[in-house]
Structures are given as structure tokens and as C-alpha cells.
Amino acid sequence: MKKTIPALLFFCTILFLSAQIPTLSGCAPKKPATISDSGFYFDTVIGITLYDSSKQYALSHCMEMAQTFESYFSNTLPDSDVSKINAHPLEPIEVHPETAELIQKGLSYGEKSGGRFDITIGKLSALWAFEKQTVPKTKEIKKAAKHVDYKNVVADGNTVTLNDPHAALDLGGIAKGYIADKMKEYLENEGITSGLINLGGNVLTLGQKPDHTDYTIGIQKPFSDDGTPIVSVDVEDESVVTSGVYQRYFEADGVLYHHIIDPHTGYPCDNGLHSVTILSQSSADGDALSTMVFLMGLEDGMSYVEADPSIEAIFITEDNALHYSSGFSSKYPYKEY
């Protein structure tokens, strides 16, 4: 399932071509000590860069971690933990500790969001198969939406039970962030203090770069064909995650349908936002929060961010106006384009 892509091309492509955001804001020639690898997991291109050529083994191990976690969390691989839970509702399923941990985290965000973020959205996600570019029937959407309820999942230790035979788990809204955190934890345990993990636009940085400067991460201008940034931000040892309507979408009869589905309606969320970017220590938190806060809308979402001093956010509305949380400018150098 892994497709190897030249690392330098990968990072250039993220900036100029990819619809996945945040993006690296530059593609300068690598120093000789820099090592990178990339591959195709979780239906997206991922890449890891380390600033120590003696750590090739660690780079390889991170790619192995990607493959392992995909085999746990995928809802399309038949032997994954998630697929086993979905295939055997009402039965207690023994899963790997990491799967249980991730599901617990997903359930906690279901509670925090009042069900706006819900890992039982699997049947709705399957209906909105964006590669087919067709709008599901209203009857099917309403039926699937009735069975989205995180409270129907019981996690007890490493045993998970899905108590609704008409529901299905989908961990796509939080899995990449969780995996990035696990990779960073491993790298830090190996004594690696500088590096960058990019899992399909979920960017997580290790410390600063070796020259003691921050990483500059670009946030794509919505619907830009070449990945042009609308703003860039300098960060160190933090996560930058964006949820945007332009990352996966199609148009039918003049209407744009995107991948951020409102669990309460069953349809793509329509609230005047183009994207939300969350800056946080944990990439799993940033992953879940970027979706959850997007679904809240600008006013309620910003209020949620303001109440949590551990995170900051950038909201981009449909007119491409940038809205920053109040603590953003004092924490992060940034540049608008």
C-alpha cells in the first residue's frame, strides 16, 4: 500500500500543487544532513523530514508506524480493528491498545462537542463517496444520520462494543493527528530534537530547526489551484492542522458539496466558513478540534477557542477574510499574502 515518492518533490508539491493544508511555505534546497521519506497512507501522501542523517533507522521506523496504524484504524481494510468492530456490532471486540486509546479520545470529543464531532459517522461518510461525485438520496442520508451517536460506543479497557447495528465507526477525523503525536513521541525518545511530520497536511514540528529558527507553515488560500498561501505562521514544537471545504469536494447542479459533514443534518456543513486552522501542542487535539470548531461556525467556534488558552485558531470565511483568535498575534509571527 506504500507508494514511494522522491522526498524533495513531495515537499515542493505540497506547497504548489496539493490541496492538503497546512503546507510548507518554502522548498529551499536541503542541507546534506537532512533526510526525508514519503509514502501513501490513509488515502493521502505523507512525509517526514529529520535533520540528522545518522537517524535513517528512525525515519524508516516512522514509516513502519504509519503502515501499522493504518492496519489498526482503517475502516476499509477488512482485518483492521475498526473494520472488525463495524462488522460485528453488539459484540465486544478486543482491539490493540492504541485503537482503544484513540476511540476513547474520539468519544471525549463527542462529549465536548455535543455530538458535532462523532466517530460513529461511518455510514454517512460511506454515502458521501466523493470519488463518485454524486449526491446521496435524501432518504438514505436521513436514515444514516439517525444512527450517528457516539454514546452507542462502549470502550472498556481494550474491548470496544458498538451498540447500534446500523452505525459504523470512522476515525478519519482524528487518526492522522494521533499518529503524528505517536511518531513525535518515538522520535523524541530517540533523542531527535529537530524534524517535521506532515501527514496529509496535518503538520507537527519537533522543536526548532537546527539553526534555532522556527518552521514557517503556509495556510493555503481556499480553492487556490497551485497551493498559494493566504497566510503563513512561524511555529516551534507545535501542531498546525486545517479543516477546509476545498480539500475534498465536488460540484453538482451548481452546488458545492464538501467532506466536512454535519452529523446532525447528514449534509456538508454550510455556515459561511472556508476553513479553520488549529495550533496546539497535540496534533490529535488539533485534528479533532479543527473539524469540531468548523462545525460550530465562526461565532461559537471562536468562543470555544477563546475559552481554551492552550490553543489558537485562524478562521477563513467565504469572502477569504482572516479571523484570528485573540492570543494568536502575541504567540506567533505571521505574514499575510
Residues 66-120 have pLDDT tens digits of 999 999 999 999 999 999 999 999 999 999 999 999 999 999 999 999 999 999 9
**Band of pLDDT at residue 24, cut at 50, 70 and 90:** very low
- Residue 227 has what pLDDT? 85
Question: Region 167-188: what's the mean pLDDT?
Answer: 98
- Residue 33 has what pLDDT? 85
- Residue 225 has what pLDDT? 87
* pLDDT above 60 (res 26): no
* pLDDT above 80 (res 311): yes
**Band of pLDDT at residue 59, cut at 50, 70 and 90:** very high
- pTM, two decimal places: 0.90
Contact 225, 204 (CB under 8 A): no
Q: How is domain 81-162 classified at the CATH fold level?
A: T-fold (1.10.3980)
Q: Range with the lowest mean pLDDT among 6-20, 219-233, 262-276?
A: 6-20
Mean pLDDT, rounded, of the chain: 91
Q: In this prediction, what percent of the chain has a pLDDT beyond 70?
A: 91
Give residue limits of the domains in the chain. Answer: 81-162
